[in-house]
Amino acid sequence: MKIVVVGAGAMGSLFGGTLASVADICLYDVNQIHVDAINRNGLLMSRGNEENYVKVRATAVPEEIGEADAVIFFTKYSFMEQAVKDSLQCIGPKTVAVTLQNGLGCTDIMKKYLGIEQIYYGLTAYTSDMKGPGHIELTTNENVGTYFWALNNSVSPEAKKLEAVMKEAGFHVEITRDVDERIWKKLMVNCSENTLCGILRMRVGQLVHTPESYEILKQVVGEVCSVARAKGIEISNEAGLAYVMEISRAVESHLPSMALDIQKERKTEIACLNEAVIAEGRKLGVTTPILEMTAYMVRAIEKNYGTFAF
């Protein structure tokens, strides 16, 4: 099966590198230095003291790829529209297009360019950190999962084949109708951990083991749960917090992508995370003051890149 992974950052490289043992993989990324390192040395996938170089093709030129059986998107939300446009020449009439990105809104972009029957959406709880050009570090310590579903509620044979290939590579993966509930559960993780780790400059383990930051996390999770319930997804604050803590225990060494974005003074994904949940809450009459505060803080940080007092 020919699979193109669009966005070869920490997560795209994790999936592409893992799938390379069982499929014809091409990593597409606009970072030429990263692409060159992968093509020259292989993709270095490390975990602790273990190092594994994976031979996988990478390119920054979409015209070099050709039509694929499946395209998996892992780009940042702010780059998604351009990523879909770049990928159109890789997408044929039966190509499966899957977004496993954080947050809300990616399928709305995909619908502008692709047939609804081709679009699949979902999430993954696997984690990985970028260490440098051609190098990622795997940070998931337990058996977490990847889940996706068809936007038109009709699963194609090509999608089932992708699921089988991912399982063969060692992923715990499932095509499942309850993906919306799972996405909102992941929003509980991303809106709390990603944002607070970025603001407070902490790893996940530090965030959840520091009493004061843990209290803020609990309030953020509670507000996301309130919006989810207003949308018809029944999950209590207690169950939401238990899920966040279950994921946290598996990735305590992880530095979330928003923390890395802030560290490197890049645009964050606050728009498709906290701000997107705030917007959903307003539509449904649910107030989210702590989410709003965290979103304001991230926007204030972004607007002062390069000019901080210390």
pLDDT tens column, 78-110: 999 999 999 999 999 999 999 999 999 999 999
Amino acid at 128: S
Spatial distance between the Cα atoms of 9 and 269, rounded to a whole number of angstroms: 14
pLDDT of residue 139: 87
Instruction: Give the Cα-Cα-Cα angle 256, 261, 266 (nearest 5 degrees).
Output: 165
Which string of b and e fits 15-45 if b means at least 16 CB within 10 Å?
bbbbbbebbebbbbbbbeebbebbbeebbbb
| pTM higher than 0.95 | no
- Residue 210 confidence (pLDDT) above 90: yes
User: Angle formed by the axes of helices 274-284 and 289-303, to 10°?
Assistant: 140
Strand runs (DSSP E) across the chain, as ranges? 2-6, 24-28, 43-47, 50-54, 57-59, 68-73, 91-99, 119-124, 128-132, 135-138, 146-150, 173-175
Read off the pLDDT of residues 247-268 as tens digits, 9 standing for 90 and up: 899 889 989 999 999 999 999 9
pLDDT of residue 144: 84
pLDDT-derived band at 142, boundaries 50, 70, 90: low
Say which residues have a Cβ less than 8 Å from residue 199's Cβ, sequence separation at least 6. 262, 294, 297, 298, 301
Spatial distance between the Cα atoms of 238 and 226, rounded to a whole number of angstroms: 11
Read off the pLDDT of residues 173-206 as tens digits, 9 standing for 90 and up: 999 999 999 999 999 999 999 999 999 999 999 9
Domains for the chain: give ranges and CATH numbers.
1-175 (3.40.50.720), 177-301 (1.10.1040.10)
Burial of 72 per CB tally in 10 Å (0-12, 13-18, 19+)? buried
